[in-house]
Amino acid sequence: MKSKSETAARVLLADDDEIFLEILAETVEEAGGEVALASDGVAALEQLSAGDFDILISDLNMPRMDGLTLLRQVRALYPHILSILITGFGSLESAIQALRLGAYDYIQKPFMVEHVAATIRNAVDRVKTYKERAGLLLEIENLQGKICSLEEKRLSESKVYDSSGNLISEPLLASLSGFRPDAFLEKPQGNPNRAIVALETL
C-alpha cells in the first residue's frame, strides 16, 4: 500500500495576493494536501513543468497571465490536473467559461472560508481516491503477473508423457489416466462423467 505522502494531493496555488495565498495554503494543508505557491500564471506554468501536481487553484486576475489563459495551457499540457478558478464578484461569465474549458470548480469572491474549504476538501479527496485506486490496480496487475509465472512454472513441471511417448501438456488431461482427447472425439458415446470427476479432483 502507498504511504500517506504518496497519496496526498499536491496543490499549486497561483495568486498575486500574498495574504490570500496564505489563507488558501492553510486551508489546503488542513484538507490534507501539500502546497506550493506561485505569484502569477507564468510562475505557475514554470512550477507545473518542474513538479508533479494534482490540483491547480488560480485567481482569475493576475499579472503577466490571467487565470483563463493559464487554465487553457494547463488543460492542454496537463489534462489530469484538477483546476479551480477564483473569480471576483460579478464574474459569473468567466466562471462559466472556466467550467466549459474543463475546470473542476470555481470560487467566487467574496467568499466564506467554509465554502472554500469544502471545495478544496472535495478536490483533495477526489485526487486521493484516484491515487489509491491506481495503486490497487497496480498491485492487482503485479499479482496477476506473479500468478501467471507460477502457473507457467507449474505447467512446465507437470508435463506427463503417455506410454507412447506423447506429451500431455494439460494437467487436466494428465489426471484422466489414459484419457485422450482425440479418442473422446472419436467415441462420443464414451462416459462424460470421467471428465467431470477429473475436474472436481483438481
Sign of the C-alpha dihedral, residues 130, 136, 140, 142?
positive
Task: Tell whether the model's pLDDT for residue 124 goes beyond 60.
Answer: yes
Exposure of 9 by Cβ count < 10 A (0-12 exposed, 13-18 middle, 19+ buried)? buried
Q: What integer pLDDT is reported at residue 47 of this predicted model?
A: 96
CATH superfamily of 4-137: Response regulator (3.40.50.2300)
Strands 105-108 and 82-87: parallel
Q: What integer pLDDT is reported at residue 180 of this predicted model?
A: 47
Cell triple for 83: 483546476
Predicted confidence (pLDDT) per residue in 148-174, tens digit: 877 777 766 666 565 666 665 555 444
Q: What is the pTM of this model?
A: 0.64
Residues 156, 169: Cα–Cα separation, whole Å: 8
Residue ranges covered by each domain of the chain? 4-137, 158-201
Predicted confidence (pLDDT) per residue in 59-109, tens digit: 999 999 999 999 999 999 999 999 999 987 667 888 889 989 999 998 888
Phi and psi at residue 82, in whole multiples of 5°? -80, 125
